[in-house]
Amino acid sequence: MWLGVVTIFPDLVKASFKEGVVGRAIERGDISLETINPRDYPLNSYGSVDDRPFGGGPGMVMAAEPLAACVQAARETVRPHTLKTALLSPQGTLFSQSLATELSQLDALLLVAGRYEGVDERFITNYVDLEISIGDYVLSGGELAASVVVDVIGRYVEGTVNNPESIECESFTDDLLDCPQYTRPRVFEGLEVPEVLLSGDHGAVEHWRHQQRIEKTWTRRPDLLVQRVNRETETTELRNCMLNAQPASLETVEEESCAKQQNN
């Protein structure tokens, strides 16, 4: 998979992948990660890539021309019809595991890391396929957000993670958080490993882990269960979780979810 990042600070992105499984996948060539610097396509001899906003206001706005030139450069690197361009933006779609899975199926993805007060809207109109936000907060720039997206997507590229099962069973898969994990020793400061994990009964272990995932999701992220509550196979376990640990009524969760979708 080809991943590109448009950034005026390429070293910030590269530093994120000097270690770890995604970094090793890049070294092996399983993932091709390139940075494209708008300063290579400046507005003037001073190397400017931004300008004052029309209509006044604080800060500077990244100009459309240098960013457009970066996209054109990416199109010359990969097959243009396979390239999708995403802008990291607080106004974007909230990044999620499901979106990461979808994006990992692409042949080529270009991420644009904004700076300052944002980017010229005309660049977004003509060159951006989607906008992505990693959360409801503001960073000093889009490089950290781009690195998060690269890391999450990169884990889905074949060969990045040695054991594919570790991806299938982790948090947010099937809208559930991960189950508790334990290793040696069997007793730590008076806390024992659950007996079922020592039983050797694989069926019982899987059932326990699945139940733990549902319980943890219900107590910590009940909003994730809205999408699952009507599935017959989950009904009994879900209802048991609601009785044992009830942070909010399901109706409240559904109302909050609907209100959030309407506000977006």
Residue type, 78: V
- The runs of H, that is alpha helices, within 29-142 are 64-77, 97-103, 121-127
Of 33, 46, 39, the C-alpha closest to 9 is 39
Whole-number pLDDT of residue 232: 45
The total of other beta-carbon atoms located within 10 Å of residue 174's CB is: 16
- pLDDT tens, 28-77? 999 999 999 999 999 999 999 999 999 999 999 999 999 999 999 999 99
Q: Residue for token digits 């060969």?
A: 159
Considering only the top CATH level, what class is 173-263? mainly alpha
pLDDT at 264 over 60: no
Instruction: Say which residues have a Cβ less than 8 Å from residue 189's Cβ, sequence separation at least 6.
Output: none
Beta pairing, strands 187-188 & 191-192: antiparallel
Q: Which pLDDT does position 168 carry in this prediction?
A: 64
Q: What is the pLDDT at residue 134?
A: 98
| Residues contacting 1, CB < 8 A, separation 6+ | 30, 31, 32, 104, 106, 107, 108, 109, 153, 154, 157
Fold of the domain spanning 2-154:
Alpha/beta knot (3.40.1280)
Confidence bin at 80 (pLDDT 50/70/90): confident
In this prediction the pTM is 0.83
Q: Residue 131: what are its φ and ψ, rounded to 5°?
A: -110, 140
Domains in the chain: boundaries: 2-154, 173-263
For residue 246, the model assigns a pLDDT of 54
Give the separation between CA 223 and CA 220, rounded to whole angstroms: 9
CA–CA separation, 95 vs 81, rounded Å? Answer: 24
pLDDT digits (tens, 9 = 90+) for 110-151: 999 999 999 999 999 999 999 999 999 999 999 999 999 999
DSSP states of 86-113? EEEEEEEEEP-HHHHHHHTTSSEEEEEE
